[in-house]
Amino acid sequence: MKNIYHTIALGLFASSAAAQITEGTVTTGPGYESQVWYSMENGEIHSAPLNNWDLAFEISGFTASIRVNAQKGVTVYQAPFSVSQWNELDTAGMSTTWDKLYNDNSRWSRGAFNLYPTSEFDLGWGVYNPITHAVTGDSLYVMALANGSFIKLRFDALAGGIYNFTYANPDGTNEISAQVDKDDYTGKNFGYYSLETGEALDREPFANSWDITFLKYSADLGGTAYPVSGVFHNYDVSVAEVSNIESTDPWEAGFSAHINSIGYDWKTFDFEEGWLLDDRNFCVQALNGNIYQLVFTNFEGSSTGVYEFGTSLFSALSTSQTDLNSFSLFPNPAHGEEITINGKFTPDDRIEIFNLNGSLIKEQRVQNLNAVRLTTSGLETGTYLVRIVSQNQVFTQKLTISQ
């Protein structure tokens, strides 16, 4: 192991009532016309028009998620034609027999075009080649755009970090080949494209600068997709919902990696009294490692798009670390019951897992000197510290357990 010493200090506020409450306000505008990105530590980071894009392309990771702007009023239909039938595609039966596709609101990595995979390497819109590391498109779609027009669409490939796609009028006229280059959005979660203007858009803040985002999106309400306003959270952020922050341990309630853990249903509309707020507390595990309490205090609805809320620091994580790359964890976030820890170990090394309260949860001696398999069975969703003690040196990384 590298000769780098790490120290960890954990501090927990036993009661959020003792923490300073910070009042916050986010305005998304009439009709929720803007999307707002927010840092639990630094407040509002960025805002952008909600309706200036149609397609969103995932920049990092291996899932190649492609999402659609359903909240704008765009509808995606899976066309029952093969890619080779691009010129023969017609829309007969589209509104009655074709499948409509929607984003998965629990995961950024599962957009409307990533549904119905049929094999390990099938990403929905295309198939990944583990030898070339390219994705080749194998599906056709028809999109009803917000301006009332229709287009047919295919994603040709993701190769060399560039998404290539083609769209045209359903009769084949006005065919356009377009690209979204990942390199143009380094450090962002998604790059965007407008099918109405034919332009690629850079509309997000850097992914490491925000924790939650306020937006309008399409949710399944009793089998019907309906536009709602609410809150999603970032990759690597998790949320626990508790009814009483002073008597309920959020760790017992359980942290969730589902991006709609806050969502929209903390509020309801009454025709006589207006918007009513549930008595809920959300504990947000932010990117900086701290846990923040979030409580909504007012919501004004579509007339102004104003959210009012209070935040306080619930649990503080402080680390003094020179290097977090002395060993690697895979997968991280962990979704199964086992992770692999790669590094250069000695027979006397030991591996420890702590929760953010500083309690030792698991401990294991090293048996394989190059890679160690460690079970995460019994660990609830949330963030933990994996610590390797090697010859009086301590090496630490954060580990996220997702559902």
Domains and CATH numbers, the chain: 12-49+211-318 (no CATH), 55-201 (no CATH), 323-401 (2.60.40.3080)
Q: How far is CA 265 from the centre of its chain?
A: 19
**Which residue reads 């007969």 in tokens?**
92
37 residue type, one letter: W
Query: Nearest 5°: phi and psi at 17?
Result: -65, -25
Give, for 96, the enclosing helix (H) or strand (E): helix 94-97
- What residue type is assigned to position 336 of the chain? G
Helix, coil or strand: residue 108: coil
DSSP class of residue 206?
P
Q: What is the pLDDT of residue 248?
A: 56
For the chain of 403 residues, list the mean pLDDT of each consecutive stretch of 10.
26 43 95 97 96 95 91 93 95 93 93 88 92 94 94 97 97 97 96 96 95 94 87 91 67 80 95 91 88 94 97 64 52 78 73 78 72 79 81 72 78
Q: Give me the pLDDT at residue 118, please.
A: 80
Contact by Cβ (8 Å): 308, 302: no
Give the model's pLDDT for residue 320. 33
Which pLDDT does position 244 carry in this prediction? 65
Give the list of residues 6+ apart from residue 257 with CB closer than 8 angstroms, or none: 238, 333, 381, 400, 402, 403
How far is the first Cα of the chain from the last one, in angstroms, to the nearest whole number?
A: 31
Give the model's pLDDT for residue 338.
Answer: 78
Amino acid at 323: D
pTM metric for this prediction: 0.75
pLDDT at 324: 32
Q: How many residues does the chain have?
A: 403
Could you write out the DSSP letters of every residue in 153-177?
EEEEEEETTEEEEEEE-TTS-S-EE
